Amino acid sequence: MATESERSQRATRLPPDLEAWLEELAEEHGLDRDRLLERLLEANRHALEDGDADRTERVESLEAELDEKIDDIRARMLQLKRQTESKASAEHDHEAFDRFDDLEAQLMQAESAVSELETDIEELAAAAEANEETLETTRERLRRVATVVVRLRQQMHGDEDDHLQKLRQIAAQRGFETANCRACGNAVNISLLSEPICPHCSARFGDIAGDNGFFSTPKLVGGSDDQ
């Protein structure tokens, strides 16, 4: 019966540079190569999505803060305008000037806040631009790895279809439809199999040993080494 290691090696053949990098990382963390590959793809996908979300959230927060300050200044200016229009006598001139001074101070604070916000936005934009090349490189590597994984999975399914067809041909040539699983001993109808795997114990079939007769029963085995 084919081992899990053999299946893993067949399903994770990669280009030389990615193969060496994946082998080294898997050995370092003591993980199965296929499992590590899945984790890397998932982690990088989340990193790309979270990075974009964080930058968007930060910019939206800065814009909201700026809008809030502008609305506050507009409200104060409108309030002051109404008060100065309703108090035209000279005795209120001094109070009006004081309010203008206060408003001017608030405007200066708002300008300073706007300047800080603009600086933050520029820094975020610069950081995003600097990371864009790295992100694009990561995306390209992920696309390459994903393409290879899909191709290998398709190849693996194609190999399984070939194995199943081979088992059916052997059974037809020898004149039987049912054989016992070498691993668990249960009878298996070969014509009903959708993949070369035992429906009872999940053992993988690679060949059929023996013929159908009075003193022998054909057995589904993992391969030539299992006969």
Average pLDDT in the chain: 69
CA distance 168 to 25: 41
Token digits for 103? 């408003």
Cβ contacts of 159 within 8 Å, gap of 6 or more: 10
| Structure confidence at residue 200 as a pLDDT band (50, 70, 90) | very high
Rg (CA), the chain: 36
Distance CA(174)–CA(181), nearest Å, equals: 17
pLDDT in tens, 41-92: 776 666 656 555 666 666 667 667 666 766 676 677 667 666 656 655 444 4
Q: Look at residues 144, 139, 134, 156 and name the one whose alpha carbon lies nearest to residue 17.
A: 144
If we measure between CA atoms, which residue out of 164, 178, 149 comes closest to residue 33?
149
Q: For residue 10, what pLDDT band results from cuts at 50, 70 and 90?
A: very low
CA angle 157, 154, 35 (to 5 degrees): 90
Q: How are strands ordered across the β-sheet holding 178-181?
A: 187-189, 178-181, 219-221, 207-209
